[in-house]
A and B are shown apart, each in its own frame.
Chain A
Amino acid sequence: MKTKFAMVFAAGLAAAACASTANQGAVDPNASSGITSTAIPGSEQDFVEQTGERVFFELDSYALRSDGRAALERQAAWLQQYPDVEVLVAGNCDERGTREYNLALGARRANAARDYLVSLGVSPSRITTISYGKERPLDPRSNEEAWALNRNAHTQIVSGAVS
């Protein structure tokens, strides 16, 4: 539930930023107003911005790619900086493949990400995993671009973040 509160708060910040720029008549807050919203260090938004919350996989694979390892290294560094934070790593798949197979594959992806975080010194007690299989696609379309996005392990903060 803390996740939800944090998300609402982040959305609130964005809305505030928009409101302040609207007063100055700017359309794009980042382009023309000179006002940018910066995530509070240690917040969920900070984690997302600093680390990249998702690592991506090849078709039918749960092997970490080099860009995925780099993202997990950033996640591990961030998590060591904020030792009270606990995370959930969700494994996701593209829509190709059967439902049950994708549940099993999603679990592999979540655990591949988890294992790498643990190898980098994050305590296993701070990480839980879940597989959503292909049931929670990020991009609903049925094309290569969407499928590439939907094959991921998604690290989400569940507690301990600064809000």
Chain B
Amino acid sequence: MMRLVVRVMAGLAFALAAFAPALAQEEIRITQGELRARPISVPDFIGPDEASRALGADIAGVIINDLESSGWFDASDPASHIQQISDIDVQPRFADWRLIGSEALVAGSVEVLSSGDVRVAFRLWNVQTQSQMAGLRFETTRDNWRRVAHQVADRVYERLLGDEGYFDTRIVYIHESGPKTNPVTRLAIMDQDGANPEFLTNGDYMVLLPTFSPTAQQIAYVSFRDMRPTTYLFDIETGREERLFEISPEAESYSARFSPDGQSIVTTVSQGGNSDIHVFNLSTRRLTRITNEPSLEAEPSFDPTGRRIVFRSNRAGESSSHLYTMNVDGTDVRRLTFGQGIYGTPVWSPRGDYIAFTNQSRGQFRLGVIRPDGTGERIITQNFKIDRPTWSPNGRVLMFSVEYPGSQIRKEIRTIDVTGRNERVLNTPGNASDPAWSPLLR
């Protein structure tokens, strides 16, 4: 069906003798509290012919959009550029770039080969120290050009911010259409920037709450294919849908999240109306119940070590809902939240430093983060309805669903920096909800 497999065949750093050797240690680190976006220049990638130059402009556009969407970069207007890059293997005139205020320059080239493949190369320059910070060459099929651009943006982000990039990633989500009283929901996938949206299911039955496997090759989700909400697995390569387990005809299961090693899935199973957290081992096909309470347990998520699980429960009182953590075998349960409002949708950052959550009170939802030890709780944004936060692979950005009030479906996906800055609406075709961020694809 569709290949997510990385097809970038070569990624070779090249350092030419004419230059000072690439300084691997050098980086400009944005410190906490420094909120200024870094001025950068990304001129159109140069090329030997019209087709290559057109692609070069597209590639630069994707890189700029990636970098600016992070909130940490501000790309210069090409009209302000003094030097026109004509050869990326020649050191740029740094004074020209310094004059327009750029701190970094991405100079790149692209060549559409006779085979139809493309060769893309770039160098990242530190304008202030006049040194090369990165230099890479890619050779790949032409339809991979957006991925190459995302990989360049990831390198730039990494070298300039000292943190892993997250642009070469995909989002699985739910596309919604039709009346609010009987919506059509479809499993859909797109690039992190909203490009290349594609449906994975046709809307014949309701699907909800997807998540990626650590390899980004499989999606766990809830399907009503069997007339009741049940955990399914979708294989992106084959398009095959597989029901994971059947406990009893009446049992339902809601959502599923993979363990970091991809070997198991944590889910919420409801029997006789009582929902508890269960872990399903994908190799032994064994389902283990790990909470056993009369209260409502739901929305489990693994920590990045795979040793602990965070979930919500109303065990402290029916009208309350708080977050708890426990070991994967259900032992050592600790209550995480004690604040006002209804806590839900906890999801552990891939870095392990924070758990994102929603909190509902006074007719509004807040998106917040809290450290796994219960300290550092803070709210980063709010809206009428917020659901399904999901972390960028580097744990710096949260993506989430926003829903507007009213008789028509109006749902969108947004991103926000974990600091609470830079909230943006992702451009999606139609109503989109339940985003889940893939790991880095490379």
Contacts and interface: CB of A to CB of B under 8 A. Distances in A.
Interface of A: 60-62, 95-101, 103-105, 107-112, 114-115, 128-131, 133, 135-142
26 contacts: A60-B318, A95-B403, A98-B388, A99-B387, A99-B434, A100-B255, A100-B268, A100-B344, A101-B296, A101-B344, A103-B270, A104-B275, A104-B296, A104-B298, A105-B296, A107-B270, A107-B275, A108-B296, A111-B272, A115-B273, A131-B229, A133-B229, A135-B183, A135-B208, A137-B180, A141-B406
B360 A131 contact: no
A57 to B, nearest CB: 12
B383 to A, nearest CB: 13
Contacts of A137: 180-181
Interface in B62-107: none
A78 B27 CA distance: 76
A62 B274 CA distance: 11
A108 B228 contact: no
Contacts of A61: 318-319
Contacts of A60: 318-319, 342
B139 interface: no
Contacts of A142: 405-407
Chain A facing B: main interface SS: mixed
A131 B299 contact: no
Nearest to A59: B319
Contact of A108 (B206, B222, B273): B273
A99 B270 contact: no
Interface residues of B, number: 47
Contacts of B132: none
Contacts of A98: 299, 344-345, 358, 360, 387-388
B366 to A, nearest CB: 13
B268 A141 contact: no
B6 interface: no
B296 A96 contact: no
A102 to B, nearest CB: 9
B273 A135 contact: no
A101 B273 contact: no
B312 A101 contact: yes
B375 interface: no
Contacts of A108: 273-275, 296
A128 B434 CA distance: 28
B317 to A, nearest CB: 11
A101 B227 contact: no
Interface string B209-232: 100000000000010000111000
Given A103-B222, A112-B273, 10 more contacts: A97-B360, A99-B208, A100-B345, A103-B229, A104-B275, A111-B274, A130-B227, A130-B229, A135-B208, A142-B407
A124 to B, nearest CB: 10
A107 B252 CA distance: 8
A142 B344 CA distance: 21
